[in-house]
Chain A
Amino acid sequence: DGGITQSPKYLFRKEGQNVTLSCEQNLNHDAMYWYRQDPGQGLRLIYYSQIVNDFQKGDIAEGYSVSREKKESFPLTVTSAQKNPTAFYLCASSFAAPPLGYTFGSGTRLTVV
């Protein structure tokens, strides 16, 4: 599916629970990113990783955590500390600077119930 796969497509979480969103790419991209999109809003950067075992906070990292143990994978955990987690989450990957070939996954819609 375009070389970058997100799962699941829909996710429901009870308040107080942690959930992990999966992102896998087979494009041999070095960098991977997580964005949050709220209805009618733009794309806000949560975390990004330029190389394995290294990642940086984006603009809205509070309440989220990530890991980058493999080049192909960049999972995002939405923790119970995230006060308003209901949103559409998009993963992306790209080659090195400048970020050419910036490709998005199909997204995960997370709903807190």
Chain B
Amino acid sequence: GENVEQHPSTLSVQEGDSAVIKCTYSDSASNYFPWYKQELGKRPQLIIDIRSNVGEKKDQRIAVTLNKTAKHFSLHITETQPEDSAVYFCAASIQGAQKLVFGQGTRLTINP
């Protein structure tokens, strides 16, 4: 079945700098790649997603890039702010499947 690997497990950046989190997936039939943000004690919330027919998607300070050949996708956060501190999860879904397979999560800390 599908396997999603996420790196790094922890990331610390200075406020205002950029943060990048990377995920690789195993099944070339995967076609949907969302990213979730989970604040402490809260539910994961969708922040951005991308379909396999698109190489990049942006939403203000957040962007996701997809490289289907290499089977990896990345989350980019620019001009980081303290409220960006959270755990971020990537996920992938195989075409025709109704479930997401999640990465292990990245704990992002923004230092003031």
Q: A42-B89, A43-B89 are in contact. Are A98 and B95 (CB under 8 A)?
A: yes
Q: A97-B98, A99-B98 are in contact. Are A104 and B45 (CB under 8 A)?
A: yes
B54 proximal to A (CB < 8 A)? no
Contacts of B6 in A (CB 8 A): 42
Q: How far is the CB of B68 from chain A (nearest CB, A)?
A: 15
How far is it, in angstroms, between the C-alpha of A94 and the C-alpha of B34 when the chains are bound? 13
What's the dominant secondary structure at chain B's contact region? strand
Contacts of B51 in A (CB 8 A): 98
Q: Count B-side interface residues using an 8 Å CB cutoff.
A: 27
Contacts of A40 in B (CB 8 A): 107
Q: A99-B93, A102-B46 are in contact. Are A42 and B99 (CB under 8 A)?
A: no
B43 proximal to A (CB < 8 A)? yes
A33 proximal to B (CB < 8 A)? yes
